[in-house]
């Protein structure tokens, strides 16, 4: 007796679909590593930044980037100035897309001062589009 056509289709789908998705999922790790490297290099290029711990997620419907940046600051005003320089570096980068919403927190070495993009006057979340508009920067 042969299997019913519906059963055969389900069995084939169970075998074929994972095989088709595997190459797509394998590429996610490379995209995440590239994203993390780009954000880390841009962040560390700014004077006053000591460390940058960056995490990027690139999954279907879930693309985000963020982390923690340690800065040389003894006042909130100094921390905000360094954060704004980092945001300007992101805005100027042609490697970053308008829709990305970098979610970073900026902390002094002793963790007594913490700031983030929410401390600035953005209309909503600080997407790269908003950051570029805020500072009047277009990547070249």
Q: 73-94, pLDDT tens digit by residue?
A: 999 999 999 999 999 999 999 9
Residue 77 belongs to a domain = yes
What is the span of the domain harbouring residue 59?
31-135
Q: Number of structural domains, the chain?
A: 1
Residue 111 belongs to a domain = yes
Give the predicted TM-score (pTM) of the model: 0.77
31-72 pLDDT, tens digit per residue, is 889 999 999 999 999 999 999 999 998 777 667 889 999 999
Residue 54 belongs to a domain = yes
Among 80, 101, 88, CA closest to 45: 88
Among 96, 114, 46, CA closest to 131: 96
Domain CATH number, residue 121: 3.30.70.1350
Residue 12 belongs to a domain = no
Residue 49 belongs to a domain = yes
């Amino acid at each position: 007796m042969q299997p019913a056509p519906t059963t055969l289709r389900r069995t084939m789908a169970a075998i074929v679909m994972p095989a088709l998705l595997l190459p797509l999922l394998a590429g996610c790790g490379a995209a995440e590593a590239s994203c993390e490297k780009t954000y880390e290099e841009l962040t560390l290029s700014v004077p006053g930044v000591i460390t940058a711990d960056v995490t990027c997620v690139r999954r279907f419907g879930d693309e985000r980037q963020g982390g923690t940046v340690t800065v040389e600051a003894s006042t909130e005003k100094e921390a905000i100035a360094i954060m704004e320089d980092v945001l300007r570096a992101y805005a100027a980068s042609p490697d970053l897309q308008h829709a990305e919403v970098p979610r970073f927190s900026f902390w002094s070495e002793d963790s007594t001062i913490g700031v983030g993009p929410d401390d600035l006057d953005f209309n909503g979340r600080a997407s790269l589009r908003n950051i570029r508009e805020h500072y009047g920067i277009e990547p070249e």
